[in-house]
Amino acid sequence: MNSRSTPREQLLQAGSRLLGQIDMTDLARALSISAVVDEAGLSHQTFHNTYPGSSRAGGTGGKEAFVEDLLDNLTVNYSGLEAADSNSVKPGEFTGPVSALFDDLVSGLMRRRLIAILLSGDNDGARKAVAPEFERFDVDFRSVVGEAIQSQGGSVRQPLSVASLSTVLVALLDGLALREMLTPGAIAARDVATATESILRWAVDPLHSDRNTPAPEPTESGDDLNLLRPDLEADIIAATETLFVDHGYFLGPTSGLERIDLNIVPLIEYADTLMLTRGILRTTIPPTYTRGIVLRASGGPSILKELSDEEIAVSIDEAIRLNVAAMAVQVFIGGEHETRSVHNMTRLVDMGNRHGIATLAVTAVGKEMVRDAQYMRLATRMCAELGATYVKTYYVEEDFDTVTASCPVPIVIAGGKKLPEPDALQLAHNAVQQGAAGVDMGRNIFQSEAPAAMIQAVRAVVHENLSPTDAYDLYLTLKENNKQSAES
């Protein structure tokens, strides 16, 4: 203790130290005169000489005078956060600095900070003393949140800002810390990390962030599920294998889709994303599926009518409720109702942009139109120019690389009609090699002799750059293994 400190200063310093140690459930008793004088290394007589009078019979001396003096001069002495080494943080590991603050909040300086709030509820002096510490902490915390967003692409969803997001997160951490202090062991640090990670990942704007941000590593089976589905664009850029099962919205129960619960649900674990209607999502797809959902958002005519006569069939509120990553809309370039279909797309783009939901433009080719690179360049470029986040189109044998080169947004290719398995794998390989970001296959998977083996073979082509020959060998091996497992 500094020999030049007065007894009053020593007593105040001792009281401040005790605030960092006391049990919140036993505040009054823990902050006793005996504890204070022992901590200060002084005598009871010195205490009473410093704070004369009695608190009994309505007096203002003794302990009450000391507590009031302590609150008037309380400071948390917040020293600031240590700067994180950005070079040592891997992409996707952005929640460490945020969730780690939980330990500081329930112990040490931050514990004292929260106790100070409770003690200063009716004391202006204490509030004024603590306010600068809060401001410093909030500024530092905002920097941590900003770095977290920057590591995932640098843009936050509108109408949020980094400041408002950090305010929400610090309030969450304060609340969790207070509960942990009142009921030790009630809150696990792992739960805090999961919550902050989910909020931060959701807060990243999928439309305006840097696309080169790598996708996070998948979690091991049995880990807590992240119920916020990831944004689709990261999946697309990293190469996507989408299972396309929305045929029923105009075809009805086509072959292979009669029983989606039996034929499709066993396949979804192998798909990066699912493209389907809201009816199937709600009634059939298990809520444990946490990857990207592409929601069919346009519709109207059946196969018996003019297919280009579509309208928007899903509201943006419904898409938000379903927590989808993207909305898919058919665009009929050259079709009878071309303008309406284009306006359907632009309206979805506007609505999706406001809420951070991507728009997939699906280029449809009429029976009278030629499926060549010239048409595909026209259709995909129009969709991109008018705001589509990415485009689904058909692969063409000649000059497909000019289609992907002239389209400024990612392209995924449709599988089209059912092909023999080697031909479908060759098609997927050629498309990816010529610039496609991935494939969106339906009939070539669920109408295959071995759908589970086929979707895994296609996935290997897209993600592992497997050759068509090797992919077909993988398909045959998996098919045989599945057959033996079924027979055993």
Residues serving a catalytic function are 392
304: tokens are 């018996």
User: Comparing C-alpha atoms, which of 426, 421, 380 is closest to residue 404?
Assistant: 380
Cα–Cα distance measured from residue 216 to residue 459, given in angstroms and rounded to the nearest whole number: 18
